[in-house]
C-alpha cells in the first residue's frame, strides 16, 4: 500500500474543505431559488386567475395548478420552514370551492386581499432558516 506524500495531505484537506464549502454555497443558492420560486408561484397564480373570473372552471384549474406547484416545491425544499409555509399556502389555494361566476369573483377578491401576505409568509420562511 502506498501512502500519500506529505505534501499531498494538506492539498487533500484543502480540496475536501473546499468541496464542503461548495456544497454549502450550492445549498444556499438552491434555497434562495426555491424561495423566489415560491413567491413567484403565488404571483403567477393570482395573475392567471385575474383574467379568468368569468370562467369558474378555469379559475378552479388555475388555483389547483398553483397549489400543485407549491406542494411540489414543498416536497423538494431543503428548508423545512419554507416547505411548511408552501404547504399552508397550497392548502389555502385548494380550499376555494368554485361552483359559479360568483364564487370565482369571491375567490379573486380573496386572492387579491391575501396573496401579498402569502408571498410575505413564504419570503419570511426563507429568512427564518
Interval 7-47: pLDDT, tens = 444 544 444 455 445 445 445 556 678 888 988 999 999 99
d(CA 22, CA 37): 22
Interval 59-108: pLDDT, tens = 999 999 999 999 999 999 878 899 999 999 999 999 999 999 899 989 99
d(CA 61, CA 49): 9
Give CA 33 to chain center in angstroms. 8
- Domain map (residue ranges) of the chain: 31-128
Amino acid at each position: 500500500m502506498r501512502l500519500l506524500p506529505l505534501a499531498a495531505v494538506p492539498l487533500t484537506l484543502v480540496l475536501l474543505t473546499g468541496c464542503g464549502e461548495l456544497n454549502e454555497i450550492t445549498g444556499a443558492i438552491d434555497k434562495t431559488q426555491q424561495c423566489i420560486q415560491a413567491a413567484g408561484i403565488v404571483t403567477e397564480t393570482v395573475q392567471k386567475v385575474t383574467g379568468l373570473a368569468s370562467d369558474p372552471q378555469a379559475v378552479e384549474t388555475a388555483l389547483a395548478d398553483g397549489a400543485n406547484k407549491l406542494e411540489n416545491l414543498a416536497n423538494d425544499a431543503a428548508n423545512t420552514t419554507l416547505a411548511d409555509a408552501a404547504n399552508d399556502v397550497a392548502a389555502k389555494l385548494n380550499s376555494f370551492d368554485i361552483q359559479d361566476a360568483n364564487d370565482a369573483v369571491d375567490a379573486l377578491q380573496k386572492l387579491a386581499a391575501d396573496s401579498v401576505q402569502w408571498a410575505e409568509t413564504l419570503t419570511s420562511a426563507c429568512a427564518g432558516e
